Amino acid sequence: MKKPDFPPLSLSCVPSPFSPEAGLIAFQGLLLISRTLLTDQISRIEARAGRHLIAQNFGAFGRGLAAFAGVAIPAAAVNAGLKLFQKEIALAFQGRLTRRLHAAYSNNRAYYSASVLGGLTGADQRITEDVEKFCACVSELYSYTFKPLLDVILFTRSLARIMGYKGQLALYGYYFLSAAALRRLSPPLAAMTAQEAALSGAFRAAHARLVGSAEEVAFNDPPSGASERMILDRHLSRLLRHGRLSAFQRFAQQLAVSFFFFFF
Domain ranges of the chain: 14-183, 186-264
pLDDT class for 115, splitting at 50, 70, 90?
low
CA 242: distance to chain centroid? 20
- pLDDT-based confidence at 98, cuts 50/70/90? confident
Among candidate residues 231, 80, 94, the one with its CA nearest the CA of residue 223? 231
**Packing angle, helices 223-262 and 131-185, rounded to 10:** 50
Percent share of the chain, pLDDT over 90: 2
Count of beta carbons in the 10 Å neighbourhood of residue 201: 16
Confidence of residue 8 (pLDDT cuts 50, 70, 90): low
Tell which residue, 222, 223, 229, has the closest CA to residue 207.
229
The torsion angles phi and psi of 14, rounded to 5 degrees, stand at -125, 90
pLDDT of residue 1: 41
Integer angstrom CA distances of residue 235 from 120, 196, 208, 209, 231: 19, 12, 13, 13, 6
Cβ(109)–Cβ(176) below 8 Å: no
3-state secondary structure of 18: coil
Provide mean pLDDT across the span 210-226.
78
Residue 150: the pLDDT is 73
For residue 5, what pLDDT is reported?
52
Long-range contacts of the stretch 132-138 (C-beta < 8 A, 24+):
132/94, 133/197, 134/97, 135/13, 135/90, 135/91, 135/93, 135/94, 135/97, 136/90, 138/13, 138/90, 138/93
Cα angle at 128 between 123 and 133, to 5 degrees?
115
Does residue 157 contact residue 240 with C-beta atoms inside 8 Å? no
DSSP class of residue 127 equals I
Q: Which helix (H) or strand (E) holds 5?
A: none
pLDDT at 2: 45
Enter the pTM of the model: 0.57
Angle, CA of 38, 257 and 80, to the nearest 5°:
30
